[in-house]
Amino acid sequence: MKIIDIITQNKLSLSFEVFPPKTETSFENVKHATEEIAKLRPSFMSVTYGAGGGTSRYTLDIAKNIKELYGVPTLAHLTCVSSTRDTVSQKIKEIKAAGITNIMALRGDIPKELENTDRSSWDYKYAIDLINELKSYDSDFCIGAACYPEIHPESTNQKDDIKRLKEKVDAGVDFLTTQMFFDNNLLYNFLYKIREAGITVPVIPGIMPITNANQVERSIKLSGSFMPQRFKSLVDKFGSNPAAMKQAGIAYATDQIIDLYANGITNVHVYSMNKPDVAAKIQDNLSDIISK
Ligand code: FAD
């Protein structure tokens, strides 16, 4: 089933993200975590490509399992920036052959060692290059792309970032998923601005439950997200007590999700990081709110 058809059903729902294993030996652990998350019957599950510590090699295997073994709609991520056209074409063929129709088309982060090199000869410079390729390969793919309520770290201002986002969407994006954010007002403000710029596709907010203090620094570094004082106080108070921090982080994420639903969002994507217990707790907290 296409993600665009799921998220426009006007039902309040949750989707979850998992990342692939780093090595063959951890494959079974990730498979088990994925299965446990799938049992929650989310609206869909996404599988990252090389992000979060996993390798791209296993993205398709995990995505196929989600769809075929557990019957949950799947979104396979694909990045392009440090790949050749041949590698990406091969990946697209494999995704198609696996019967996966939903693809999150991403540029990917520029590897550190390539940051200051000449990019003119690269096969892919931006996500839009991959989106164009996917569309010409199969116009029936349902394509998602990333967006940044607090602007992409490489962008110098929001106006340019939104201009580039509009070009990306116009190339054939069906829906957008946001980078994590910890203050919903940043999302509402962003939505207002992109709608004003003529971007009309559905936007799925991405919520990251911060369940341990170490995660805070890593997540902020990765995303550049603003930490509201309310969240900082919570980390100050509970950061050194793992169980309390986990409970407080889940409560904070739940609170954000309830506010999003109350303000017209229907599907929220949870960066569940291969943690079935966290996914289950959030879903349980919303049991009378989300649609059955
Ligand atoms: P782009 O849309 O190409 O944008 C990157 C930057 O270039 C922005 O500053 C943009 O404004 C600018 N830009 C875009 N087009 C142009 C143009 N034509 N000319 C000049 N400037 C331009 N990473 C992974 O490795 N694997 C994953 O699975 C993964 N999943 C993600 C899921 C989500 C929801 C999000 C938000 C991010 C994810 N990432 C993942 C991280 C992502 O790869 C990085 O944030 C990356 O740096 C940018 O990817 P993008 O697709 O947004 O790039």
| Banded pLDDT at 173 (limits 50, 70, 90) | very high
Residue 291 has pLDDT above 90, yes or no: no
pTM of the model: 0.97
Cα of 109 vs centre of ligand 1, distance in Å, is 7
User: Structurally, what CATH architecture does the domain formed by 3-285 represent?
Assistant: Alpha-Beta Barrel (3.20)
Q: Which atom of ligand 1 is nearest to 177's Cα? A: 34
Does any ligand 1 atom lie closer than 6 A to the CB of residue 50?
yes
Q: Tens digits of per-residue pLDDT, 191-216?
A: 999 999 999 999 999 999 999 988 88
Q: Tens digits of per-residue pLDDT, 214-244?
A: 888 888 888 889 999 999 999 999 999 999 9
Side-by-side strand order, sheet with 206-207:
203-204, 175-178, 142-147, 102-106, 74-79, 45-47, 13-18, 267-270, 206-207
SS (H, E, C) 10-42: CCCEEEEEECCCCCHHHHHHHHHHHHHHHCCCC
Mean pLDDT (whole number) for 29-57: 89
Token pair, residue 79, equals 């990045």
Mean pLDDT (whole number) for 260-269: 98
Residue 11 to residue 102: CA distance in whole angstroms: 20
Domain boundaries along the sequence of the chain: 3-285
Does any ligand 1 atom lie closer than 6 A to the CB of residue 246?
no
Is the pLDDT higher at 116 or at 252?
Answer: 252
Mean pLDDT (whole number) for 248-265: 98
Q: Which atom of ligand 1 is nearest to 77's Cα? A: 28
Q: State yes or no: is 167 an active-site residue.
A: no
Q: Tens digits of per-residue pLDDT, 105-131?
A: 999 998 888 888 898 889 999 999 999
Range list of H helices, 58-142:
59-68, 85-97, 127-137
Mean pLDDT (whole number) for 85-96: 95
| Banded pLDDT at 53 (limits 50, 70, 90) | low
